[in-house]
Amino acid sequence: MSKRQYLGALVGASLLMSGTAVEARTLKLNHNNPESHPVHEAAEYMSKRLEELTNGDLKIRVYANAQLGTQRESMEMIQNGLLDMARSNASELEAFDESYSALNLPYIFKDEAHYYDVLSGDIGADILSSSKDKGFLGIAYYVEGARSFYANTEITSPADLEGMKIRVQPSPSAIRMVELLGGIPTPIAYGELYSALQLGVVDGAENNPLALTSARHGEVAKVYSNDQHTMIPSVVLISTQTWESLSEAEQKALMQAGRDSMDHARALWNKQEAKGVETAKQEMGVRFIEVDKAPFVEAVLPMHEEAAAASPRVADLIQRIKALGE
């Protein structure tokens, strides 16, 4: 090869590499959890899988700790096409699409296995795709265990919630549930909850056990009453505008990466939750108490009937979810 041919080959290779770099695309994904949280690790896993499946042509950059905005702000940016992807959860999403409200009903899932069968099957896929004309659609669910009440007093029956101000997510289902149980639902942003508990703005909250350690709530709430009223998943979302800008092959790869990350997230969650419970007990002095769920179930069952009566769509989802658990 002559010197001229060699230089020409180098230039050609350089141009080819430059073209590939130009064609590669990185999607931005925002969430409000720390980098140590299973949601972040699962999202990073999804990014890695997507890069593998597209040979590096499509990537995801994950932003933790609400760097690009709060959960609510992320949803608005996604709908407007100003943000590619975000993590929200079914509780907040019911305000944007009624289908998600079926997942938020207390005690609708028989157990964790039933819960995951719903999320990973046809029912879950139906809900994820339902909001495409509203500016976003779902890619994957990440389990976050069961939610229970925590405060500085034991909550062993609905009677114990009488008059207590309980922090809830800005969700009609969460608000109605606490009302039926006798508490005073108080919507507060998650990032403000630690100080709200510390200062007595609220008397308690409801979340999964990992909130005690990842958000340090175990420092200001010393009793976790394990009533397991709801199992509400995180949801990874993509802007409809971004979705439609992807090729069919890229869309398929993204859905596959999301599905693979669901199983990864489940394993991560179960491992970290068990570790978090021990940390909360041993290092933060949190007491975990088991409660009789029957009075809680009885108190909130009207929600199932109300939700079904209000929407044929939700009624159908409720029926399908319960049938899968039989």
The CATH superfamily assigned to 25-144+232-276 is Bacterial extracellular solute-binding protein, family 7 (3.40.190.170)
The pLDDT assigned to 6 comes to 39
What average pLDDT does the segment 37-50 reach?
96
First to last CA, the chain: 73
Given a cut of 90, whether residue 287 has pLDDT beyond it is yes
The pLDDT assigned to 155 comes to 98
The amino acid at 59: K
SS (H, E, C) 201-268: CCCEEEECCCHHHHCCHHHCCCEEEEEEEECCCEEEEEEHHHHHHCCHHHHHHHHHHHHHHHHHHHHH
Grade residue 16 by pLDDT with cuts at 50, 70 and 90.
Answer: very low
Phi, psi torsion values for 12, nearest 5 degrees: -60, -45
Strands 136-142 and 234-239: antiparallel
Identical topology for domains 25-144+232-276 and 146-231+283-325: yes
Instruction: Supply 295's token pair.
Output: 């009075």
What CATH number is given for 146-231+283-325 in this structure? 3.40.190.170
Q: How far is CA 140 from CA 3, 80, 236, 265, 296, in A?
A: 53, 21, 5, 10, 30
What average pLDDT does the segment 3-21 reach?
43
| pLDDT tens digit sequence for 149-158 | 999 999 999 9
The pLDDT assigned to 23 comes to 73
| pLDDT tens digit sequence for 189-204 | 888 999 999 999 999 9
Per the model's pLDDT, the better-predicted residue between 243 and 4 turns out to be 243
Is this model's pTM higher than 0.95 or not? no
Are the beta carbons of 89 and 143 closer than 8 angstroms?
A: no
Q: What residues does each domain of the chain span?
A: 25-144+232-276, 146-231+283-325
Are the beta carbons of 33 and 40 closer than 8 angstroms?
A: yes
What average pLDDT does the segment 99-111 reach?
96
SS (H, E, C) 114-143: HHHHHHHCHHHHHHHHCCHHHCEEEEEEEC
Given a cut of 60, whether residue 233 has pLDDT beyond it is yes
Q: Which of 260, 231, 275, 258 is nearest to 116 (CA)?
A: 231
Q: Which of 89, 58, 75 is nearest to 136 (CA)?
A: 75
Given a cut of 80, whether residue 19 has pLDDT beyond it is no
